[in-house]
């Protein structure tokens, strides 16, 4: 294989999501393997031109080799074997963690209130209400950060696919922009009782996005760009240099 063909193969692997160093190593190993085949054919009596031609036939088409490499990376992980489930359905379903996480913290808060009552420590309803609202606002605002790190990093490290990383980031970005969550806290029904509240989660677009929605929409895209910065740079931006 010529140097230009190897460079193009390296660039294609990088564009597909293979880490830059690994893509370069694969093409170096492929070039060394091609040289070994040519030397073997030359020793068997083939002419240099015939040796190069037969070595190319034995190795296969460059595009097929790239597909084989990328498929082997994906199939090495259960996440890559089921990409629609991992990078489409699960990111969409992850927004259910907003109410689940809030309810879980509420249960933990009840244990704290039990402890305070047991030790005679007083607290006011307004303090509880203020804490709950602040926590809920912070939780829903930064929700996309851990979810983006989980799905996009999982794709870049385990599946090595830029396409599915972009899909996961897009699902989280769209869902984050459209998600509308609200929490209302009601005072205790009787002295010593727990506070109660209503929690709702829906999806819709009212024409303008809140700061919270913008944050949830932008963060997944930033995580994607940071995770694949090397691939974007060496696969699309760097020209006329060794990839």
3-state SS class at 120: coil
Q: Distance (Å, rounded) from C-alpha 79 to C-alpha 84?
A: 9
pLDDT tens track for 111-130: 887 787 788 777 777 777 78
Provide mean pLDDT across the span 7-17.
Answer: 93
- Which sequence spans correspond to the domains of the chain? 3-76, 80-228
pLDDT at 22: 93
Q: Distance (Å, rounded) from C-alpha 60 to C-alpha 56?
A: 6
Helical ranges in the chain per DSSP H: 3-16, 20-43, 48-59, 62-75, 78-81, 83-84, 90-93, 97-118, 125-142, 144-154, 162-178, 211-227, 229-232
Whether the per-residue pLDDT at 242 is higher than 60: the answer is: no
Whether the per-residue pLDDT at 190 is higher than 70: the answer is: no
């Amino acid at each position: 294989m010529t140097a230009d063909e190897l460079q193009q193969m390296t660039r294609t692997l990088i564009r597909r999501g293979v880490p830059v160093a690994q893509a370069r190593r694969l093409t170096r190993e492929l070039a060394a393997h091609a040289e070994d085949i040519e030397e073997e054919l030359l020793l068997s009596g083939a002419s240099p031109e015939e040796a190069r031609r037969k070595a190319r036939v034995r190795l296969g088409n460059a595009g097929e080799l790239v597909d084989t490499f990328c498929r082997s990376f994906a199939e090495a992980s259960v996440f890559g074997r089921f990409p629609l489930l991992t990078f489409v359905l699960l990111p969409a379903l992850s927004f259910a963690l907003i109410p689940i996480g809030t309810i879980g913290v509420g249960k933990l808060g009840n244990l704290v209130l039990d402890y305070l009552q047991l030790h005679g420590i007083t607290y006011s309803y307004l303090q509880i209400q203020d804490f709950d609202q602040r926590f809920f606002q912070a939780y829903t605002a930064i929700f996309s950060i851990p979810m983006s790190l989980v799905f996009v990093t999982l794709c870049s490290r385990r599946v090595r696919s830029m396409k599915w990383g972009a899909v996961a980031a897009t699902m989280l970005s769209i869902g984050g922009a459209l998600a509308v969550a609200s929490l209302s806290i009601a005072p205790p029904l009787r002295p010593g009782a727990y506070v109660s509240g209503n929690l709702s989660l829906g999806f819709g677009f009212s024409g303008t996005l809140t700061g919270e929605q913008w944050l949830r929409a932008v963060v997944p895209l930033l995580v994607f760009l940071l995770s694949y910065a090397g691939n974007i740079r060496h696969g699309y931006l760097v020209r006329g240099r060794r990839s």
